Structure 1
Amino acid sequence: MPTQVIQAQPSTNAFSGFIQFWKDVKAVAQPYWYPNDSGDRAFSDVIRSWGMLFLLVLLIIALVSANLFNSFITRYLLDIIIEEKNPSKFSDTLVLFGLALVLVTLLSGFSKLLRKKIALDWYQWLNNKILSKYLNSRAYYKINFQSNIDNPDQRLSQEIEPIASNALSLSANLLEKILEMAGFLIILWSISQSVALILVTYTVIGNLIAVFLTQELNKINREELEAKADYTYCLTHLRTHAESVAFFRGEKQESNIIDRRFSNLIKNAKRKIDWEKNNEIFNRGYQAVIQIFPYIVFGPLQIKGEIDFGEISQASICCYFFANALGDLINEFGNSGRFSSYVERLSEFSDALKSVTKQPENVSTIKTVEENHLAFESVTLQTPNYEQVIVENLSLSVQPGEGLLIVGPSGRGKSSLLRAIAGLWNAGTGRLVRPPLEEVLFLPQRPYIILGTLREQLLYPNTNRQITDAELKDFLQQVNLQNLLSRVDGFDTEVPWENILSVGEQQRLAFARLLVTRPSFTILDEATSALDLKNEGSLYQQLQETKTTFISVGHRESLFDYHQWVLELSQDSSWQLVTVQDYRNKNTSITKTTGNTQLKIDSFLKDKFQTKLENSIGEGLSHKEMNALTSYSLSTIRSKASKGESITTNDGFIYRYNKDPKVLKWVMD
């Protein structure tokens, strides 16, 4: 059985969860910072990244050192002002203090710039690596069948960048704040050991309370994200189904749904406002106590002349920076929960991509051989999970220039055979012979409309092909889209095509792409289901003129006119390959006979038709009357009438449609 990738559940063991977290971090970070495989990164790029990281460490050390140095300058400056009152020393110290502040500003700015630059480079590399794995070996397609990874597009677009930025932020802040705490605590210890111990105790207790408050914030934020997502989704849902809502006149009900979800959003926003109020009061009080604490302790000593005012100021600065550093550090660890989730999900996603592209062991697969024709040789096709047989022991060959129509009940695997030809499904046994996929063009029922210009739409997937505007206009004319250019500003304008083109127009645009590409082989999965018979006939006739070998999936009887063979799939995984004429004759027999009961024709119509048969040259038959005398559907009869084709009735009479406005009847040929 194929490997199933199951999303990891949160561990109940804190230690094992911590070990798994670091394994995930290693899986994400190692290929960038310490690649083992030669193909991961160029050596010069690795050296450049480490050089930038080393420079960032130096900048952080210099920044912390400058802040520590500033505390001494502040102390010295206050002593000069209050005690020495020396104008010369004051001027020199003030200049030095100003230069130190400029240095701190520059170091802070450059360290943040370098941090963002490193994070951006890492994000760019990581995104390209994951995206390459996503697109490699059609993993983007297989992951929908062989794993239960949710929202791969969101993981790519929204969950890679935070890993790089949060990792750099966490690491840099960890280094900076630990150095700050150590430096300022040493200075404070040199002034008063008891004050240093009291400060550490107070700060730890205060920040533990802050962590508790942060947990409540995380819950509020999570609910806020869910409320915003629900509100956004209901608006998107309304836009997507705008026409259906308009038909139902469901504006009132939609308004109720939107109001209900918006109310949840407002309710959560009010909770967050209340929390922020309480948190702000706590933070302000917490910081105020730390700032006033040195004055309470050292103020009486300074009044008695036992300590300088500069020392009081320096102690206050040390307390302030120490408390802020520890607070920032604890906040970083509090936010690391989100970082951990991102890392876990990306590691899980990467493992899933690797799993779905790995050839499963101990299972049978269909062998694919590339040759310049298409054939199934004793092929038994199964679903990717090997739980259901779609078709059993299929053997057929499609000759060059011929057309094969695949029919059968809904859900019996008609489209699955096309997936096997494309190499998307290979579970089963047997041998599939097909041309290189570069020579095959697939036209699904819902055409793939790319995000691009009209020129790129027509040239896809070979958008580098050089074709003049005049030739492209001719292709649009051939598929009855000659008016499309009047709706856009030329071939090189990019517009939301899926919004401005109907499904029928999209199918005709796909046929234009076929005419431009002129592939040797074409696969059509109900590619004309949204077209009228006239457009369908015109497109299939042009397809036949290209001399391409084509396979179609469809239910319309009109499609029989353009194919030579019919492959019928049955409910029990059996199949039969017959000519179009034999298939029609079989269906005629089934239509005329149900078991041993002869289908009855209304006696009135029968007499009327008999009269028409005797006098058809003069009077002719209507479409409905011809329908009763043949095995053709009304739509096929109308199609043949528009093309001027003849029809042979079940009794052997040949009729042709007279298009004279005074006649407009089927008359005997």
Structure 2
Amino acid sequence: MTTPRTAATPDSHKDSIAELNVHHGRLNLSETWQLIKPFWVSADRYKAWALLALVVALSLFVVYMNVLFTDWNRLFYNALEQKDKTGFWHQLGRFSWIAALIIIASVLRQYYTMMLRMRWRTWITGSFVDDWLGKQAFYRLEQTHTADNPDQRIADDLRNFTDATLTLALGFLNAAVTLVSFFGILWAVSGPLAFALGGHDFVIPGYMVWFALLYSVLGSVIIHFVGRPLIGLSFQQERYEAYFRFLLMRVRENSESIALYRGEPTEKAILRGRFERIRANWNQLMDYTRRLNFASSGYGQFAIIFPFLVSAPRYFGGTLTLGGMMQVATAFGQVQGAMSWFVDNYSTLVSWKASTNRLIEFQRAMRAAEREEEHRAGVRDVEVEIATVSAIEARDLALNLPNRKPEDLLVEPFDMTLARGERVLINGPSGCGKSTLVRAVAGIWPYGSGRIEIPDDACVLFLPQRSYLPSGTLADALSYPDLATQYTAERLAQVLTACRLPALVDLLDEVSNWSLRLSPGEQQRLAFARALLQRPDYLFLDEATSALDEDTEAFMYSLMLESMPDMTIVSVAHRSTVARFHHRRLRYIPEGDPLTAVSYRVVEEPAQNVSTPALAAS
């Protein structure tokens, strides 16, 4: 069965920034590790580790070349200071091959990093899709609304997570190696700083290292203080953007209904209201991003001149050459840059935290749905089993709604047998649980109790009021859930013609959004064409002819009966015109006042009690 797609309304715009940071600024390290770890121990781990090793090796090589470049700074500027023409040209030649190797290694590092990103994203996306579609978690989540916009989490958040995780991890490793490589150089070339204070003489060995550490720590504290609110705001921005896209898609999917209702003004008001939340949150993002940029830009710009300021006394005192001063500045920049990893990557960390939290939340929702299903098994759920039986049988089957107490049943316990070749009509008041019974037989409605047994050799097909049409060619939509390649073009054309859709034969290879392009009546006839392709033993029709006129409806029923006379048909319908195609019916009778009833019992009636003519094709 299909249900209208829904998304949880992001009402947490009412939360304060502080509350958002409490909920979304902190990471559960254990759950974060469970997002990272599986790929690196999967069947693809050997290629993944090989790529990672190659990227790390290239990063180490770039750091080594930067060490050589620092020494080149000293020699080059000393040659300039001494007006050494030979040394000048020699160092220019040396610079050319150092620069060339850095360029080649950097380009290759980026190339293989991108390759590793896509490899990881491919694997983790497949894993999430398997979990989402496995055990019908996607259906449970739509029913409970515990995780909004799973499409955005799988498509966007997984991409952001893999890209940012690699960027941050490799950047941190590069910073650590750079710090180790340049720490000794900066310590040696900076020398001691001697000064007098309060009548005492002080000497600070390797003083530039301590200045770099102090500068980086202060910068990190300031940047985090200024930018911390961005974590919660970024999380909310993703939610608001995703929900706005969802509303736009809803307009597209329901364009005809909206046009018939003249609902454009209402849709505009809804979209403007939702976009206002995006704008309001964006204004806060702008404000805090401005503050962060002021702080980080000031930090970065002052870092350029800072090493010259602290090394100037030694230079003007004659204890440091111009080349030595440039080497100090370069080494200081490397050490300070390595220590500033947190500052430089703060925006990336904010985005990474937001995506990681959304993925953790999504995983929790899927696991909760799975645990809930396991917890209910054998307690009060409808139990569906594939068994060695000759008919679909239900025993003590009671149906309920997820928000009701177990004792407040929607449908009182009843027994049901659907034998091979039978035609059974199910009808009753709207909202009494007719479609719920079909969902229970399909195994996607656990709320209730009792047992349903399905023959292990039976092919069962469910046709809802609006059948799902996947994106792709018309042949793909017609063959679903099978692959179009399982059928010949002649067979596909044959079933379309049989279902009064000859105009679609020439469109079988055309790619389109068929759920929007085809009318409701065409979609329902296409669903009957699917049934002709798959030739099921049991066909459940849930208002599957509601968009058809009575003549076409009768034609479709007759076509099914003539093409598959041994097939069992179970119809959920309000129209009395379909009764003549069935042997018996299951009627839902309200308990108490029909206008206020909240519980129903199922009564089986033989063919003679059906108010319309007897079965036309038996």
Corresponding position of 1:504: 521
Match of 1:205 among 214, 218, 221: 218
Q: Which amino acid aligns with 2:208?
A: V
State the distance in 2 between where 1:527 and 1:209 align: 63
The amino acid across from 1:417 in the alignment is L
Structure 2 counterpart of 1:616: none
Q: Which position in structure 1 is the counterpart of 2:104?
A: 106
Corresponding residue for 1:577?
Answer: 604
Indicate conservation of the 8 Å contact 1:27/1:347, yes or no: no
Aligned counterparts, 1:251-330, within 5 A: 282-299=295-312, 301-330=314-343
Q: What's the offset of the Cα at 1:287?
A: 3.4
Cα gap change, 1:127/1:260 in structure 2, threshold over 3 Å: closer, same or farther?
closer
Matched, 1:73 2:92: no
What letter is aligned with 1:100? Answer: I
How big is the shift at 1:216? 5.1
Alpha-carbon offset, residue 575 of structure 1: 1.8
- Alignment-mate amino acid for residue 459 of structure 1: S
Q: Distance in 1 between matches of 2:397 and 2:433?
A: 13
Instruction: From the superposition, tell whether residues 20 and 107 of structure 1 become closer, same or farther in structure 2 (CA, over 3 Å).
Output: same
Structure 1 window deviating more from structure 2 (51-60 vs 258-267): it is 258-267
**Map of 2:5 onto structure 1:** none
Confirm or deny: 8 A CA contact 1:177 1:329 kept in the other structure: no
Aligned-partner Cα distance in 2 for 1:129–1:85? 63
Match of residue 492 from structure 1: 509
Structure scoring higher RCO (CA < 8 A, sep ≥ 6) equals 2
Aligned to 1:600: none
CA contact (8 A) 2:585 2:610 kept: yes
TM-score, normalised by the number of residues in structure 1: 0.75
Name the CA distance, whole Å, in 2 between partners of 1:426 and 1:33.
36
Q: 1:237 deviation in Å? A: 5.0
| Distance in 1 (alpha carbons) for counterparts of 2:265 and 2:409 | 48
Query: Which SS does the other structure have where 1:389 is aligned?
Result: coil
The correspondence for 1:555, drawn from 574, 580, 588, is 574
Aligned residue in 2 for 1:363: 379
Q: Distance in 2 between matches of 1:237 and 1:160?
A: 24
CA distance in 2, matches of 1:567, 1:279: 67
Q: Structure 2: 5+ residue runs without aligned partners? A: 1-14, 192-205, 592-599
The SS at the match of 1:419 is helix
**Deviation per CA, 1:305-342, whole angstroms, max 9, x where unpaired?**
32211011112222333333333433435643443343
1:85 and 2:84 aligned = yes
- Structure 1 residue 27 displacement after superposition: 1.7
CA RMSD of aligned residues (A): 3.7
- Whether the aligned pair in 2 keeps the contact of 1:401 and 1:550 (CA below 8 Å) is yes
Partner of 2:472, secondary structure, is coil
What is the identity, as a one-letter code, of the residue corresponding to 1:411?
G
Equivalent residues of 1:377, 1:395 under 8 A apart:
yes
Relative distance call for 1:170 and 1:258 in structure 2 (3 A) is same
Distance 1:560-1:91 versus aligned 2 partners, 3 A rule? same
Distance in 1, matches of 2:77 and 2:159, equals 46
Quick check: 1:220–1:271 contact (8 Å CA) kept in 2?
yes
Please give the per-residue CA displacement for 1:98-152, whole angstroms capped at 9, x wherever unaligned.
2112222222222233333223222222221222222223222233346723332
Tell me how far 1:236 sits from its aligned partner. Answer: 4.3
> Contact 1:24/1:344 (CA < 8 Å) preserved in 2?
no
Paired residues of 1:380 and 1:389 also in contact (CA < 8 A): yes
Against the structure 1 CA distance between its residues 534 and 384, is the aligned structure 2 distance closer, same or farther, given a 3 Å change threshold? same
Residues 454 and 397 (structure 1 numbering): CA distance in 2 closer, same or farther, change over 3 Å? same
Structure 1 CA distance for aligned equivalents of residues 283 and 395 of structure 2? 67
After TM superposition, the structure 1 = structure 2 runs for residues 183-582 of structure 1, keeping only pairs within 5 Å, are: 183-190=181-188, 191-192=190-191, 193-215=206-228, 217-218=230-231, 221=234, 225=238, 228=241, 232=245, 235-236=248-249, 238-247=251-260, 249=262, 282-299=295-312, 301-332=314-345, 335-357=348-370, 359-360=374-375, 363-364=379-380, 365-366=382-383, 368=385, 369-383=387-401, 387=406, 388-426=408-446, 428-436=448-456, 439-464=459-484, 466-485=486-505, 490-545=507-562, 546-547=564-565, 548-572=567-591, 573-582=600-609
SS at match of 1:433: strand
C-alpha change, 1:276 and 1:106, in structure 2 (3 Å) is same
- Counterpart of 1:30 (choices 37, 62, 67) is 37
Distance 1:268 1:384 in 2: 34
Whether the 8 Å contact between 1:366 and 1:427 is mirrored in structure 2 is: no
Between the aligned partners of 1:514 and 1:119, the Cα distance in structure 2 is 43
- Give the match's secondary structure for 1:449: coil
- Aligned mates of 1:226, 1:350 — CA distance in 2: 16
* Distance change in 2, residues 1:150/1:329 (3 Å): same
Task: Name the SS for the 2:340 alignment partner.
Answer: helix
**Equivalent residue of 2:512, what SS?**
coil
Aligned amino acid, residue 97 of structure 1: F
What residue number does 1:6 align with? none
Partner of 1:589: none
Q: Which amino acid aligns with 1:54?
A: A
Preserved CA contact (<8 Å) 2:579 2:610: no
How far apart in 2 are the matches of 1:460 and 1:350?
A: 28
Using the TM superposition, give the Cα deviation of residue 576 of structure 1 relative to its aligned residue in structure 2, in angstroms: 1.3
For 1:363, the aligned partner's letter is V
1:399 is aligned with what amino acid? A
* Contact map agreement 2:216 2:336 (CA 8 A) in 1: yes
The change in CA–CA distance for 1:101 and 1:208 in structure 2 (over 3 A counts) is same
Q: State the shift of 1:381 in Å.
A: 3.9
Aligned to 1:141: 139
The answer on whether the counterparts of 1:384 and 1:425 sit within 8 Å (CA) in structure 2 is no
CA distance in 2, matches of 1:136, 1:226: 25
SS in 2 for 1:574: strand
Aligned-pair CA distance for 1:533: 0.5
Distance 1:147 1:20 in 2: 23
Structure 1 segments unaligned to the other structure (5+ residues): 1-8, 35-40, 585-631, 646-669
Alpha-carbon distance in 2 for matches of 1:20, 1:224: 18
Larger Rg over CA atoms? 1
Residues 338 and 138 of structure 1: CA distance in aligned 2, closer, same or farther (over 3 Å):
same
Q: CA 1:370/1:28 → structure 2, altered by over 3 Å: closer, same or farther? A: farther
8 Å CA contact 2:208, 2:332 repeated in 1: no
Superposition deviation, residue 372 in structure 1: 3.6
Distance in 2 (CA, whole Å) between partners of 1:144 and 1:250 is: 26
Please give the secondary structure, in 2, of the residue aligned with 1:131.
helix
Q: How many residues align?
A: 570
Kindly state the Cα deviation for residue 304 of structure 1 after the two structures are TM-superposed: 4.6
CA shift, 1:449, in A, is 1.4
